Chain A
C-alpha cells in the first residue's frame, strides 16, 4: 500500500531535514497511528504520501506507484484513491452538508444520479442521516468532522489519511470519531492517522509509528502512545 525506502526530505533553505532516512511499509487494510511531538515530521510524512511534496532522497511508493516518477497531471488521479481528513475539518461554509460531500464527487465528474445515491448513503454511515440540508456552521465540531470523513470516504478510497482528526474535539466526541474510523478501516480501507491523543492510541492498540526529529524511532504492532510526551 505504502512503502518508504530511505526517504529524506529537506525543505528549501533549511539545514535540518524534516524526515531523515525513513524506511517503512504499510500493508493494505492496516490501521496505523503516526505519533511524535510537533516538528517530528508527521505532517511531512503525510504530505509526501499525498504527493504535496516530493522526497529529496529515497523512494515513496503509494498504491504501487513510485511518486517520484508520477507526472504532475496524473497526481489528481492518484489522489482520488485517497481520502483526507484534517483537524480543522476544511468544509465549505457556504455549502450544505450534502453539497460538501457531493463536492468531492462533482469535481471528479461523477454523474448526478450517482451523487444523489451515494451522498445519503455515506451520511448514514457516519451517523448524520437526514442532516443533508444543514449548513456546517449549524453543526457541532464532532458532526463537522463526520461530514469531513463522509466527504473523504464517499469516493471509497483505498487509503484514508487523517491529520489529527480529533485535535479540536473533546474526548467523548473523539471516541465517536475513532469508532467511525475503525468502522471504515474494517471495510478494508487502510487508515493512517497522525495524532497527539494518548488515550486514543492506548485504547485502540493498533500499530504505532513514532517519529522524532525526522527519524523513525519506533514501529510497534499493537502499540501504545509512548513513554515520553
Chain B
C-alpha cells in the first residue's frame, strides 16, 4: 500500500468534513482532558493520603479537673496516676500500636499557643484547662476502631479522637468530585464516539463513488477502510494533543503560576510534573485508538465487500 496515496485521501476527507472534524477534535480534547484531570486528581488524593496518614494520630484525651465537673464521661473525676499507668501499659500491649507519646497539660498548652497564639481565646487559657493525652501512632491507620473500643468510656478517659476521620471527610469530598469529573468524562466520551461514528459514515457516504470503484477494481476491505479509520485517528490525535496541552497548561496555572496554589497551600504536597507527564502518552494512545475503533465498527456495516 502506498503511503502517499492513503495520506492524500485522509487530507481530502478531513477537509471535506471540516465542521464535523472540528466537533470531533473538540469533544475528544475535552473528554480526554477531563480523563487526565481526574487521573491527576486521584493521584493527588493518594499523595495527600500518604503524606497525611503518616502524620495523623489517634489521641486518647484524659479527664482534667474542669472536665470532671462538666463532662458526663468524666463523672468519676479527673484521671489518676494509676489510671494513666494502666492505660499506658494496655496501649503498649496492643499489637496495632506502633508508638505512644504522652502529652502533658503544659505541652498541650504550648502547642496550642504555637498554633493559635493570635486568637483572643488563647490569651484567656491556662495550662490547667488543657487535657493530658496519649498520642498513639498506629501501624495501620485504618485500625482506629480497635483503640476506640478499648478506651472509650474507660474511667479517666474523656474521649478517643481519630484525626484520620477528619481527613477522611476531606478525601471523601475529593473522591466525590473526582467521580463527578469521571462521570462528565464518560458522557463527553460517548458524545465524542457518536460524533466520530457519524462523521465517518458521512465521510464514507460522500465518497461512495470512490469506494465503489475501489471495490470493483479489487481493493481489499482494509485498503478501502484505512483512509476513513486514519481520518478518525488523525482527528482524535489532534484532540488528544489538545487535551495534553490543556493538562500541562492547567497544572501550570493552578499550581505553579496564576492561581499559584503551591504558594498559598504550603501544607499540601501537590502532584509533580512527572505525574502529569506520565499521563500524556496514555491520553495520546486513547485519543488514537478509540476513534480508530469507533470508525472501524462504524464502517463494518457500511463498506462491505
Contact = CB atoms under 8 A, between A and B. Distances in A.
Interface in A131-171: 151, 155
B301 interface: no
Contact of A79 (B210, B217, B223): B217
A90 interface: yes
Nearest to B216: A84
Nearest to A84: B216
Nearest to B4: A112
A87 B216 CA distance: 14
A83 to B, nearest CB: 8
Interface stretch (A6-14, A102-110, A186-194): A102-110
Interface residues of A, number: 23
Interface in B250-293: none
A175 interface: no
Nearest to B2: A106
Contacts of A75: 305
Contacts of B223: 76, 107, 109
Given A75-B305, A106-B5, A90 B217 contact: no
Nearest to B12: A94
Question: 10 nearest interchain CB pairs?
Answer: A80-B218, A107-B219, A79-B218, A104-B217, A76-B220, A76-B218, A75-B305, A84-B216, A107-B214, A106-B5
B2 A112 contact: yes
A163 to B, nearest CB: 11
Interface of B: 1-2, 5, 209-210, 212-221, 223-224, 304-305
A77 interface: yes
Nearest to A86: B216
Given A90-B213, A107-B223, A78 B218 contact: yes
21 contacts: A72-B221, A72-B304, A73-B221, A76-B218, A76-B219, A76-B221, A76-B305, A77-B218, A79-B216, A80-B217, A92-B210, A92-B213, A103-B214, A107-B224, A108-B217, A108-B218, A108-B219, A109-B2, A109-B223, A112-B2, A155-B218
Contact of B218 (A72, A90, A92, A107): A107
A108 B305 CA distance: 15
Nearest to B6: A106
Given A76-B215, A90-B216, A155-B218, 5 more contacts: A92-B210, A92-B213, A104-B217, A107-B214, A107-B223
Contacts of A77: 218, 220
A90 B214 contact: no
Contacts of A151: 217
Contacts of B304: 72
Contacts of A84: 216
Contacts of B2: 106, 109, 112
A79 B213 CA distance: 11
Nearest to A82: B218
A79 B212 contact: no
A214 B164 CA distance: 84
Contacts of B220: 73, 76-77
Nearest to A100: B213
Contacts of B212: 90
Nearest to B304: A72
A76 B215 CA distance: 7
Contacts of A76: 215, 218-221, 223, 305
Q: Which of B216, B219, B221, B304 has the most CB of A within 10 A?
A: B216
Interface in A57-102: 72-73, 75-82, 84, 90, 92
